[in-house]
Amino acid sequence: MKQLLTSLFLFLAFAASATEPDVIFVNGKIITMDKAGSVVSAVAVKDGKILAVGNDAVIRKLAGSATTIIDLGGKTVVPGLIDAHTHPVETMYLSTDFVNCRFPGVPSVKQALRNITDSVKTAKNGEWIFAACVSASQTKFAEKRMPTLAELDSISPGNPVVVLDGTHLFVANSKALEALDIKKGMTKLPHGGGIGLDKDGNPNGTLTDAFGDVPSKLTPVQLANFFTTDIQKFWNSYGFTSMLGITQGDVVPVLQKVASSGYKPTLRYSLSVWKSANGEDMPEDLSVFAFPAGTDRDYYHFTGIKAWVDGENDARTGLMCSPYLGHKETDPAGGHGSQVTSGDQAMRLARIAQKNGVICMLHCSGDKAMAIGMTTYENLCAQGKPKNIFRIEHFGMFQMYQNQLDRAVKLHAQGLRITVQPTWLTVLVKSDIEDMGYERAATGFRFRTMVDAGLEPAGSTDVTGVYLENTNPMKAIYATVTRNSDDGKFEPEQALTVMEAIKMWTIWAAKSMGEEDIKGSIEPGKFADMTVLSDDIFSIDKDKIKDIKALQTIVGGKIVYSQK
């Protein structure tokens, strides 16, 4: 009998320890983002997932002898922020290995050339030199243009030089053109990039969407360090707990190796892969991009594939029905922007994604590109409702007309999800007006219209290393609710509420990744991912939202970042 009682006691003790929380967070203003809009003060966490939510008194009763209790100090807490479209490797690469020619710190072509010259002086013979300028530098530099082929040749006759205007338009010198084997009359690069020509058919130094063709200097050691240290440290500091990271296919083996080693990051990686700008060499079988068996699915997940239908309006390469205003030497022929991916190529990519059970992501910037993207998906849906969601990246950021909105609403019912980049309001509106005129520019950034139509736009940074400050989601939320732009108040009737703006970075972002069942809100069974804010975003003056910081970032119930 004594042995039986001892066994019963041990069983009950084990049962209690199996259900008692590992950690409890109390004394917070916790915005759950559940369907009821609940606000609670406490959360219990077990094995990295949310066990229960409620008031302090109820949740404290769940505590066992081994439970850690953390006081949130009355701070506002939101679900862990999600970056639904970003480029982590490029961000680290451009911020560490590229010559800094970013406006406003570098205000002119003249200063940019000086900075590049300094790098040339210390470079090895034949070494590639890359320089990063912010998007729309052709409108921001004092000279209202980018550096020219002749100017780059004059400062670097022996080294290949490529200067980035954002990431969709490059200016290269003669050595770089030679290294890329670009000859007279050529208009296309092997992986979808475009080549600008002068009136005589000679390369003028302009390359559009050539990121798949220009070589990288990154090593596997650098890449591994990015994935185990730099990326998570950077995104965690802004309150991010998850990202959909868009990554070149050649980089994937490094992340697969990191994942298979058992390394647990402090950021959840959902991976989207591209092989070339136009998707032409995307394999039919995508299993090569999957993470190895035994990899922790909670932290590493192959999510989608991507192609670029066009460039970007801020570089005057977004594909538009009507031409850009004026003329720049770097403009693609015809002045309407550039088409990177054909309708047939886009349809092939969509079919591959459906066959392999992942998301198809089509980058569509200009209005003509948007039409191509939606036609692709309409044709896909005509064959039967897709099994997997499908996305348009940058939907309506530069242009969105009523017929496009109507088409998107119909597609949303079939599985369309959209991503937007609200921070661009603060850096690109003035350039949009210069490049397109106010009437066309005013059709962009229509977030109120998107939300009222039920599209649930997902917030994302699309950070690539050219605008590092655009990683700050509070700056994006500020712009969304105030409509303060780099050209003053911009279409203020398109403002969202604070709650709607936060949904863009939490539950709507999770939905855009097909992961709303495991993240995006603070509910039992979901990941215990939360972001503690330095101020109450709901009561603070809207103009001060941009100054809010991530006080703490919590992933799986563990504090992975604390503001110093």
Domain that holds residue 135: 90-208
For strand 550-555 and strand 161-165, is the pairing parallel, antiparallel, or unpaired?
Answer: unpaired
Answer yes or no: is 511 within a domain: no
pLDDT at 290: 97
Beta bridge partners of 19: none
Query: Is 556 within 8 Å of 541 (Cβ atoms)?
Result: no
User: Distance between CA atoms of 64 and 46, rounded to whole angstroms?
Assistant: 12
pLDDT at 4: 33
Query: Is 476 within 8 Å of 427 (Cβ atoms)?
Result: no
User: Distance between CA atoms of 130 and 119, rounded to whole angstroms?
Assistant: 9
Nearest to 156 by CA among 107, 193, 121: 121
User: Distance between CA atoms of 546 and 537, rounded to whole angstroms?
Assistant: 10
Query: Would you tell me how many other CB atoms lie within 10 Å of the CB of residue 346?
Result: 27
Residue 369, classed as helix, strand or coil, is: helix
* pLDDT tens, residue by residue, 80-94: 999 999 999 999 999
CA 491 vs CA 243, 316, 439, 450, 481: distances in Å: 30, 22, 11, 14, 11
Phi/psi of residue 277, nearest 5 degrees: -60, -35
User: Long-range pairs for 380-383 at CB < 8 Å and ≥24 separation?
Assistant: 380/347, 380/350, 380/351, 380/354, 381/411, 381/414, 381/415
| Averaged pLDDT for residues 298-316 | 97
pLDDT at 1: 44
pLDDT at 7: 33
**Overall domain count for the chain:** 1
Secondary structure (H, E, C), 179-192:
HCCCCCCCCECCCC
* Cα dihedral sign, 503-506-509-511: negative
Check whether 6 has a pLDDT greater than 80: no
Answer yes or no: is 463 within a domain: no
User: Distance between CA atoms of 341 and 350, rounded to whole angstroms?
Assistant: 12
Residue 35, classed as helix, strand or coil, is: coil
Check whether 337 has a pLDDT greater than 60: yes
Half-sphere exposure of 6 (CA within 13 A, CB side): 3
For strand 81-86 and strand 240-248, is the pairing parallel, antiparallel, or unpaired?
Answer: parallel
User: Distance between CA atoms of 345 and 280, rounded to whole angstroms?
Assistant: 7
* pLDDT tens, residue by residue, 212-248: 999 999 999 999 999 999 999 999 999 999 999 999 9
Beta strands in 503-543 (DSSP E): 530-533
Longest distance between any two alpha carbons in the chain, whole Å = 100
Beta strands in 190-250 (DSSP E): 194-197, 203-208, 240-248
* pLDDT tens, residue by residue, 397-413: 999 999 999 999 999 99
CATH of the domain at 163: 3.10.310.70
Residue length of the chain: 564
Query: Is 223 within 8 Å of 89 (Cβ atoms)?
Result: yes
For strand 550-555 and strand 530-533, is the pairing parallel, antiparallel, or unpaired?
Answer: antiparallel
* pLDDT tens, residue by residue, 487-513: 999 999 999 999 999 999 999 999 999
| Averaged pLDDT for residues 269-274 | 98
Answer yes or no: is 144 within a domain: yes
* pLDDT tens, residue by residue, 164-222: 999 999 999 999 999 999 999 999 999 889 999 999 999 999 999 999 999 999 999 99
Answer yes or no: is 243 within a domain: no
Answer yes or no: is 196 within a domain: yes
* pLDDT tens, residue by residue, 416-456: 999 999 999 999 999 999 999 999 999 999 999 999 999 99
**Token pair of 415 as six digits:** 């599985």
Check whether 3 has a pLDDT greater than 60: no
Answer yes or no: is 366 within a domain: no
Query: Is 141 within 8 Å of 112 (Cβ atoms)?
Result: yes
Answer yes or no: is 289 within a domain: no
Answer yes or no: is 79 within a domain: no
At a CB cut-off of 8 Å and minimum separation 6, what does 312 contact?
135, 166, 167, 168, 169, 318, 365, 394, 398
Supply the pTM of this predicted model: 0.95
Query: Would you tell me how many other CB atoms lie within 10 Å of the CB of residue 216?
Result: 17
Task: Work out the angle at residue 537's Cα, subtended by the Cα atoms of residues 531 and 541, and round it to the nearest 5 degrees.
Answer: 155
503, with CB counted inside 10 A (0-12, 13-18, 19+), is: buried
Query: Is 273 within 8 Å of 252 (Cβ atoms)?
Result: yes
Please tell me what DSSP assigns to residue 469. Answer: G
Check whether 67 has a pLDDT greater than 90: yes
**Confidence class for position 11, pLDDT limits 50, 70, 90:** very low
